[in-house]
Amino acid sequence: MKIRNMKDFLAGLMFIAFGAAATALAQNYNMGTAARMGPGYFPTVLGGVLAVLGVIILMESFVVDGEGPKNISFRPLILVLLSTVIFGVLLRPLGLVLALFALIAVSALGGHEFKWKEVLVLFAILASGSVAVFVYGLQLQFPLWPWSN
Amino acid sequence: MESGLLANLALGFGEVFRLQPVTMWGVAFQQVPFNIIMCFIGCLLGTLIGVLPGIGPIATIAMLLPATYALQPVAALIMLAGIYYGAQYGGSTTAILVNIPGESSSVVTCLDGYQMARQGRAGAALSIAALGSFFAGSVATLLIAAFAPPLAEVAFKFGPAEYFSLMVLGLIAAVVLAHGSVIKAIAMIILGLLLGIVGTDVNTGTSRFAFGVPELSDGIGFVAVAMGVFGFAEVITNLEQKEHREIFTKNVTGLWLSWADFKEAYGAVLRGTTIGSFLGILPGGGALLSSFAAYTLEKKWSKNPETFGKGNIKGVAAPESANNAGAQTSFIPLLTLGIPPNAVMALMVGAMTIHGIAPGPQVMTERPALFWGMIASMWVGNLMLVILNLPLIGLWIKLLTVPYRYLYPAILVFCCIGVYSVSNSEFDVYLTALFGLLGYVFVKLECEPAPLLLGFILGPMMEENLRRAMLLSRGDATVFFTRPISAGLLIVTAILLITILSPKIRKKREEAFQEE
Amino acid sequence: MKRLAIVLCTMFAAFAHGQTAYPSKSIRLVVPFPPAGATDILSRDLMQRVSARLGQQVVVDNRPGAGGTIGSDLVAKAAADGYTLLMATTSTHSIGPTLTPKLPYDPVKDFAPVSVIAVSTNLLVVPSSLQVNSVKELVALAKAKPGQLNFGSSGTGTIVHLSGEMFRHRTGTDIMHVPYKGTQLVVPDLISGQISMLFDNIVSAQPNLKTGRLKAIGISSLKRSPLMPEVPTIAESGYPGFEASVWFGVYAPAGTPKEIIARLNREIVAALHSPEMKERLAILGAEPIGSTPEEMAHTVAGETAKWARVIKDANVRID
């Protein structure tokens, strides 16, 4: 059997995985009865239905033609996500300004071209703007620098 | 009755425009239209908050609570109302400009609004959103003024069984939102339902799917999911383009609505207003459904449904009008029952309590100046927002002409700051990254995010009402069919389902699917 | 030289002591509930006055989540220098510990009591369509129709829920618990009659009582409320000793110096005794208390034991 629609094949697998995981995890909770549904009832049913749908989609992928996923390049994906995570990690220890620098620099690496001058200018504008608007203007609580409490 | 209404409205507007002596910074001013100024400040603040994706209600509220203490009740409530609508308008703006829904009711606006922006029609999209919202707000305000007490009674007819059936209808309607495979849309809805279940179960207090992480005990935040799945995924896929092509075309076709646009959209505005006005009356969730319902209806009734999701102006006009109408009429359960539709409105109840006013029907009779002043301020607030937002459209369009490589880090910065500020937690930032990854996978596998988000929002409510209905009927499942309103809703759902699945429609879908 | 050293040391000591007189900077009061809720409003009202007396701002920091346990945990683990305080309530320190065995903090060992601020109580309300006008009649109806009446609550393990369980146990009736996400959300179903009764906040219930949609048949405090003196207490309606009220109190992390606690207690009690404060609290349906730290420890222990019994008797569990 040939996989004719890679997108649907993978989608089907994904749904089966989510559905099975949900049903399995829901077993830890009380099922209850139909009249007094416990916390596990609804997720079990949903997980089951999701898995079944996943199977149907999977089977259709052998029958109906379709294109495979296009245009996958890992660089933007990894760098954008990484920059976000780095921001989260650095925010409290190093303060908003430095965390923003990391966020901007790393995410800029995910773009088509990376020029230090542009990145620094962008950083200057965004950091000063953010601090002005969010910290002073809206009074949100952010540690600004590594030495801020 | 007519003259009574007019007299009340006159009282209200008089209150809003009232000149009063005010002492500021030690200087005593005599004739200051203080309430109007508060309205303006509220609208401005609200717009700012709405435009910055993710600045959450808690930050806003915590910031403003001291201010509401100091102000007189009318002024405080007027300001809060201004913030409420301002945030709505702002949320639509981000949905159109950067595909990030500022509020749950703006999710649907992303579908066509963002596409319009990419095609250089951001001006038209923003304009129709503002104008449609203003129209809807005006109509809804009139409805409240004239019919608040009888409309409040409708809320009593809706018990748990009715809410459940309404939500089932809403979810099936969400399938219509999708322009691809029906089965995948249903699967996404169910996945959304499951994600919504994460957190503490209302009925038993059990913590579900939280893996012992305390930040998850109240559920996954809407902001993290919306930003990740819509915003981040969009940024990442844009960066993948092999050719260095600008995301937003420079060929901007004018700042405003063309006459042709207007003619196309005004029907959608009317229909959206009707749907939103009705659904907003239902306390707890009615307003959310209105934008989804309006979009679905437009798409179903359209002669070319395949244009939806690709920049059809009706796809912006209808939900925007609906959600603003819903936002207005959701004041009815607030004013008559004291049930706030969301966190900012909960602040309103708090503000009323602080000033010794118990929200309820007696507010109308005991404090008519306050009540009608609030009603009048709703209209004035809407007007102010149109005045504030229309000129800003030029600014936004200019912003979109900035090369994408400068734009997207800015988007990421605002998203990260916004999502962190919701509960001062880095965990939410990590969660957003995770959903960004998921969103990317969804795009690649052609699974649509909008049904997921609807399932995510409605899931917990649906389960809560299902279980409660079953509890109250002592396990009798026929209750959903024996109660007339519930039965009616389920019948409509069935009809909708049949039209979706019937062979003729399905073939048309597959044709449209293969054309993509 | 030695004399100079002694003088300098003494001056320095005096200087240092003066510099660190409490409070020398703003104090943070963690409120583990969302803004604009009852606990939050009460805290802000009080802290406005306490700030004036202390000469330093007491800033309210909302840290909602997990029924108040996230905020409580924050203070439990904070520095015991008097600059971080907690506004606790029955659910965080009297009910929470029994119901949630895996709490990240110990409600007794990790905290030092400062003062009980206020106590609020609930009204027992029924829809006007229900043909009962007193607790006696309600109990009679419930016994005549076992399993058919129910009571709403703001969630499993909340005081509204446990009040209902205590009621059920004392009266020996078979009524079913129906949880909601908040007391206000019960009201539409209560009015339409799908829910038979609710322990509602005395002030929030007023609008519906005035319009006649709901009837108040009892109050869960030991003494009648001045706000509604015509409503009998449940205790005097045939169930002596029935009492279900919510306490609000301030805690500091364990190990906070005694002088700081004494100072805080003094200012809080003084602020509570002003007539405006009494009025502000009455708006929320609460009465000012202002106890000593020892009294607070005693009160909380008593409440914890009482609710533990109710929880055991009613077999309330969070799985």
Q: What does the pLDDT average to over A1-21? A: 89
Inter-chain touch A39–B201, beta carbons under 8 Å: yes
Residue B505: pLDDT over 80:
no
Residue A99 lies in a domain: yes
For A81, the closest of B405, B427, B436 (CB atoms) is B436
Print the SS3 string covering B3-22: HHHHHHHHHHHHHHCCCEEE
Residue A71: pLDDT over 80:
no
For C62, the closest of B62, B158, B472 (CB atoms) is B62
Residues in chain A: 149
Q: What is the pLDDT of residue B56?
A: 53
Regarding whether A117 and A91 lie in a shared domain, the answer is: yes
Confidence of residue B285 (pLDDT cuts 50, 70, 90): low
Q: Which 8-state DSSP code applies to residue B246?
A: -
Contacts of A61 in chain B (CB under 8 A): none
The tokens describing C177, both together, are 């618990």
Residue C1 lies in a domain: no
Q: What is the pLDDT of residue B2?
A: 46
Residue A23 lies in a domain: yes
The tokens describing B251, both together, are 């060929």
Contacts of B214 in chain C (CB under 8 A): 65-66, 69-70, 104
Q: How far is CA A55 from CA A8, A61, B120, B451, C232, in A?
A: 10, 10, 41, 20, 63
Q: What does the pLDDT average to over B288-299? A: 85
Nearest CA among C65, C64, C92 for reference residue C76: C92
Regarding whether C34 and C111 lie in a shared domain, the answer is: yes
Residue A91 lies in a domain: yes
Nearest CA among B319, B314, B324, B315 for reference residue B280: B324
- Are the CB atoms for A149 and A143 separated by under 8 Å? yes
Q: Return d(Cα C284, Cα C287) in angstroms, integer.
A: 9
Instruction: Please report, rounded to a whole number, the percentage of residues in chain B having pLDDT higher than 90.
Output: 10
What is the residue range of C266's domain?
25-119+246-314
**Nearest-neighbour CA in chain C from B361: distance (Å):** 7
Regarding whether C212 and C268 lie in a shared domain, the answer is: no
Higher pLDDT, A21 or B23: A21
- Are the CB atoms for B203 and B464 separated by under 8 Å? yes
Residue B138: pLDDT over 50:
yes
Residue A15: pLDDT over 80:
yes
Regarding whether C176 and C29 lie in a shared domain, the answer is: no
Q: What is the pLDDT of residue B58?
A: 52
Residue B420, CB-side half-sphere exposure with 13 Å CA sphere: 24
Per-residue pLDDT reduced to its tens digit, C153-171: 988 888 899 999 999 999 9
Residue C296: pLDDT over 80:
yes
One-letter amino acid of C270: A
**Nearest-neighbour CA in chain A from B336: distance (Å):** 32
Regarding whether C229 and C141 lie in a shared domain, the answer is: yes
Mean pLDDT (chain A) is 86
Residue B287: pLDDT over 50:
yes
Q: Determine which of B184, B246, B462, B515 to mutate to test the interface with A (most A C-beta atoms within 10 Å).
A: B184
Residue B270: pLDDT over 90:
yes
Shortest CA distance from B336: residue in chain C: C207
Contacts of B218 in chain C (CB under 8 A): 64-66
Nearest CA among B404, B96, B415 for reference residue B237: B404
Q: Determine which of B156, B335, B366 to mutate to test the interface with C (most C C-beta atoms within 10 Å).
A: B156
Regarding whether C135 and C94 lie in a shared domain, the answer is: no
- Are the CB atoms for A35 and B471 separated by under 8 Å? yes
The tokens describing A44, both together, are 């079990």
**Nearest-neighbour CA in chain B from A148: distance (Å):** 16
B468 close to C (CB below 8 A): yes
Q: Determine which of B207, B211, B345, B353 to mutate to test the interface with C (most C C-beta atoms within 10 Å).
A: B353
Q: Return d(Cα B27, Cα C263) in angstroms, integer.
A: 38
Q: What is the pLDDT of residue C18?
A: 44
Contacts of A36 in chain B (CB under 8 A): 470-471, 475
Residue C185: give its domain's CATH number.
3.40.190.10
Q: What is the pLDDT of residue B221?
A: 83
Inter-chain touch B472–C194, beta carbons under 8 Å: yes
Shortest CA distance from C317: residue in chain A: A30
B87 close to A (CB below 8 A): no
Q: Neighbours of C (≥3 Cβ pairs closer than 8 A)?
A: A, B
What dihedral angle (degrees, nearest 10) is formed by the CA atoms of C208, C214, C220, C222? 90
The tokens describing B248, both together, are 């937003």
Phi, psi of C251 (to 5 degrees): -120, 155
Confidence of residue C197 (pLDDT cuts 50, 70, 90): very high
Residue B3: pLDDT over 70:
no
Instruction: Please report, rounded to a whole number, the percentage of residues in chain B having pLDDT higher than 70.
Output: 84
Please, what's the largest Cα pairwise distance for chain B? 75
Last residue of a domain, one of C204, C237, C270: C237
B positions 187-216 inside 8 Å of C (CB): 200, 202-206, 214-215
Nearest CA among B140, B141, B147, B151 for reference residue B1: B147
Range among B101-110, C164-173, C277-286 rated most confident: C164-173
C319 close to A (CB below 8 A): yes
Instruction: Please report, rounded to a whole number, the percentage of residues in chain A having pLDDT higher than 90.
Output: 35
Q: Return d(Cα B455, Cα A44) in angstroms, integer.
A: 16
- Chain-centroid distance of CA B475 in Å reads 34
Q: What is the pLDDT of residue C19?
A: 46
Q: Return d(Cα B494, Cα B502) in angstroms, integer.
A: 12
Q: What does the pLDDT average to over B360-372? A: 74
The tokens describing C88, both together, are 């606790």
Per-residue pLDDT reduced to its tens digit, B412-441: 998 888 888 777 788 889 999 999 999 999
Q: For the residues of A32-80, what is the DSSP string, one character each?
A: B-SSSB-TTHHHHHHHHHHHHHHHHHHHHTTTS--PPP----HHHHHHH
C317 close to A (CB below 8 A): no
Q: State the pairing for strand pair C27-31/C197-201.
A: unpaired
B391 by DSSP, 3-state: which? helix
Q: What does the pLDDT average to over C216-236? A: 90
Nearest CA among C57, C65, C72, C64 for reference residue C24: C57
Last residue of a domain, one of C220, C237, C254: C237
Q: Return d(Cα C305, Cα B321) in angstroms, integer.
A: 54
Residue C64: pLDDT over 80:
no
Residue B256: partners with Cβ closer than 8 Å, 6 or more residues away: B123, B124, B127, B393
Regarding whether C60 and C139 lie in a shared domain, the answer is: no
Confidence of residue B62 (pLDDT cuts 50, 70, 90): low
What is the residue range of A85's domain?
74-137
**Nearest-neighbour CA in chain A from B160: distance (Å):** 14
**Positions of E strands within C107-263:** 111-127, 150-153, 176-179, 197-201, 214-219, 245-253
Higher pLDDT, B202 or C178: C178
Q: Say how many C-beta atoms besides its own lie within 10 A of residue B495's C-beta.
A: 11
Shortest CA distance from B282: residue in chain C: C188
Regarding whether C216 and C163 lie in a shared domain, the answer is: yes
Q: How far is CA C161 from CA B463, B486, C156, in A?
A: 20, 28, 6
Q: What is the pLDDT of residue C10?
A: 56
Q: What does the pLDDT average to over B144-173? A: 81
The tokens describing C289, both together, are 């208390």
Shortest CA distance from B420: residue in chain A: A88
Confidence of residue C300 (pLDDT cuts 50, 70, 90): very high
Shortest CA distance from B199: residue in chain C: C66
B positions 49-78 inside 8 Å of A (CB): 49, 52, 55, 59, 63
- Are the CB atoms for A40 and A31 separated by under 8 Å? yes
Q: State the pairing for strand pair B27-32/B20-24.
A: antiparallel
Confidence of residue B385 (pLDDT cuts 50, 70, 90): confident
Looking at the structure of chain C, the number of domains it has is: 2
Phi, psi of C288 (to 5 degrees): -75, 150
Regarding whether A83 and A108 lie in a shared domain, the answer is: yes
State the residue for tokens 């065995």: C101
Regarding whether C217 and C128 lie in a shared domain, the answer is: yes
Contacts of C60 in chain B (CB under 8 A): 62
For B194, the closest of A10, A43, A81 (CB atoms) is A43
Segment among A61-75, B13-27, B352-366, C8-22 with least mean pLDDT: C8-22
Contacts of A69 in chain B (CB under 8 A): 444-445
Phi, psi of C153 (to 5 degrees): -150, 170
Nearest CA among B178, B454, B128 for reference residue B314: B128
Q: What is the pLDDT of residue C8?
A: 65
- Are the CB atoms for A69 and B445 separated by under 8 Å? yes
Residue A69 lies in a domain: no
Looking at the structure of chain A, the number of domains it has is: 2
Regarding whether A40 and A14 lie in a shared domain, the answer is: yes
Report angle CA B207, B208, B214 to the nearest 5 degrees.
55
Per-residue pLDDT reduced to its tens digit, C99-113: 877 788 888 899 999
Q: Return d(Cα B46, Cα B40) in angstroms, integer.
A: 10
Residue A47: pLDDT over 90:
yes
Residue A145: pLDDT over 70:
yes
A41 close to C (CB below 8 A): no
Contacts of C36 in chain B (CB under 8 A): 61, 65, 346-347, 349-351, 353
| Helix/strand/coil percentages in chain C, nearest 5 | 45, 20, 35
With 0-12 / 13-18 / 19 or more C-beta atoms within 10 angstroms meaning exposed / middle / buried, residue C110 is buried
With 0-12 / 13-18 / 19 or more C-beta atoms within 10 angstroms meaning exposed / middle / buried, residue C6 is exposed
Residue B55: pLDDT over 70:
no
Residue A145 lies in a domain: no
- Are the CB atoms for B469 and B161 separated by under 8 Å? yes
Regarding whether A88 and A44 lie in a shared domain, the answer is: no
Regarding whether A38 and A10 lie in a shared domain, the answer is: yes
Residue B512: pLDDT over 70:
no
Q: What is the pLDDT of residue B368?
A: 78
The tokens describing A141, both together, are 């609580």
Regarding whether C126 and C111 lie in a shared domain, the answer is: no
User: What's the ipTM?
Assistant: 0.92
Q: How many CB pairs under 8 A join A and B?
A: 189
Mean pLDDT (chain C) is 86
- Chain-centroid distance of CA B129 in Å reads 12
Segment among B46-60, B138-152, B361-375 with least mean pLDDT: B46-60
**Nearest-neighbour CA in chain A from C33: distance (Å):** 18
Regarding whether C75 and C132 lie in a shared domain, the answer is: no
Q: What is the pLDDT of residue C218?
A: 93
Q: Return d(Cα B331, Cα B379) in angstroms, integer.
A: 13
Inter-chain touch A71–B437, beta carbons under 8 Å: no
Q: Determine the straight-line distance between the first and last CA of chain B, rounded to whole angstroms.
A: 56
Residue B151: partners with Cβ closer than 8 Å, 6 or more residues away: B143, B144, B281, B329, B332
Last residue of a domain, one of C208, C237, C266: C237
Confidence of residue B1 (pLDDT cuts 50, 70, 90): very low
The tokens describing B4, both together, are 């009574």
Q: For the residues of B82-103, what is the DSSP string, one character each?
A: HHHHHHHHHHHHHHHHHS--SS
Phi, psi of B380 (to 5 degrees): -60, -40
Residue C42: give its domain's CATH number.
3.40.190.150
Regarding whether A79 and A45 lie in a shared domain, the answer is: no
**Nearest-neighbour CA in chain A from C168: distance (Å):** 19
C44 close to B (CB below 8 A): yes
Nearest CA among C266, C236, C203 for reference residue C22: C266
Residue A146 lies in a domain: no
Contacts of A57 in chain B (CB under 8 A): 181, 183-184, 187
Determine which helix (DSSP H) or strand (DSSP E) holds C210, and give its type and residue range.
Answer: helix C206-210
Q: What is the pLDDT of residue B252?
A: 64
Segment among B79-83, B332-336, B463-467 with least mean pLDDT: B332-336
Confidence of residue B501 (pLDDT cuts 50, 70, 90): confident
Q: What is the pLDDT of residue B42?
A: 83
One-letter amino acid of A138: L
For CA atoms B499, B500, B501, B507, give the dihedral sign: positive
